[in-house]
Chains A and B, each alone.
Chain A
Amino acid sequence: EPEVTQTPSHQVTQMGQEVILRCVPISNHLYFYWYRQILGQKVEFLVSFYNNEISEKSEIFDDQFSVERPDGSNFTLKIRSTKLEDSAMYFCASSEAWQASSYEQYFGPGTRLTVT
């Protein structure tokens, strides 16, 4: 069964450093998402992406964050200057299409980001 993959599984970085989290969505999917889950809190939406542009973003997704689909298969989340409060599990998800019969979002296993 096709699945969303994410790398790395765990990333440790120092405050102020840039990190790039990588995701490979399911191949025929067109909509891509990033969510995060701070330890002990709910899963929160960050951003959605379609047709090479952001379609929706949350208040969390400020200028420190950016997303890109550099090569038609990877979908990346960049945090330019990490803060301690960016420590969280980051989930990538993908969905087949906006008006498909199924609106299910398929989630990857997550990247645990630890900012020290």
Chain B
Amino acid sequence: AQSVSQHNHHVILSEAASLELGCNYSYGGTVNLFWYVQYPGQHLQLLLKYFSGDPLVKGIKGFEAEFIKSKFSFNLRKPSVQWSDTAEYFCAVNKTGTASKLTFGTGTRLQVTL
């Protein structure tokens, strides 16, 4: 069965600090990988996705993630966070080559202070 682990449950950073949120997955096959963000009071929005090719993917708002197959990881990074990045971040996977169900991690709440 698929599973996703997000080790950081709550992260507090000052503005301009660098961000790295961990995501590890377990799945008996190749996967599509996603990071979704949920701003307070808003719906889930896609930050970035990996299907194949270059393991370093760039998303919206300056976010990027690197797929490391040997580590089953897809960590999210941003060099300099802004107060507006305060949100909950979810890593998700599904079976590669399909639009099958997403399996989500538990989420990481990011709080950026001024």
Contacts and interface: CB of A to CB of B under 8 A. Distances in A.
Interface of A: 4, 31, 33, 35, 41-45, 48, 56, 58, 91, 95-100, 103-110
A20 to B, nearest CB: 20
B43 A107 contact: yes
12 contacts: A41-B106, A42-B107, A43-B44, A45-B101, A56-B101, A97-B99, A99-B98, A103-B49, A103-B94, A103-B99, A105-B102, A108-B43
Contact of A98 (B43, B90, B98, B101): B98
B53 interface: no
Contacts of A97: 99
Interface residues of B, number: 24
Interface in B58-103: 90, 92, 94, 97-103
A96 to B, nearest CB: 8
Given A43-B90, A108-B43, A110-B43, A103 B32 contact: yes
A109 B44 CA distance: 7
